[in-house]
């Protein structure tokens, strides 16, 4: 996570992503920023979509399809997608 902060990633978002992946995948090994989401962590395309939805909800962000044009392959790609997603605007009553 510290590695990602050095490249401008929000440490809280990186931490939330790592926590979620470790909990969901029950990873007994440290997750590396360049771990492959499919090959190393076993997330198929549906599980990846569920992970993105859960992380966006957890971090108060919304999904914008087509936000990033690169495929999600690594943990870094996932953190980048979450960070690039806009925050939910709170409705004022």
pLDDT (average), residues 76-84: 92
Q: The whole model's pTM is what?
A: 0.83
Q: pLDDT of 24-76, one tens digit each? A: 777 767 889 999 999 999 999 899 989 999 999 999 999 887 766 678 899 99
Return the domain boundaries, the chain.
2-84
Residue corresponding to tokens 């960070």? 83
| pLDDT of amino acid 9 | 87
CATH 1.10.1200.10 fits 2-84, yes or no: yes
């Amino acid at each position: 996570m510290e590695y990602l902060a050095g490249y401008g990633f929000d440490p809280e978002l990186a931490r939330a992503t790592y926590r979620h992946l470790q909990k969901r995948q029950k990873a007994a090994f440290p997750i590396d920023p360049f771990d492959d989401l499919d090959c190393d962590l076993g997330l198929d395309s549906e599980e990846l979509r569920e992970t993105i939805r859960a992380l966006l909800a957890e971090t108060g962000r919304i999904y914008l399809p087509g936000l990033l044009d690169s495929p999600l392959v690594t943990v870094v790609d996932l953190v980048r997608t979450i960070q690039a997603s806009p925050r939910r605007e709170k409705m004022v009553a």
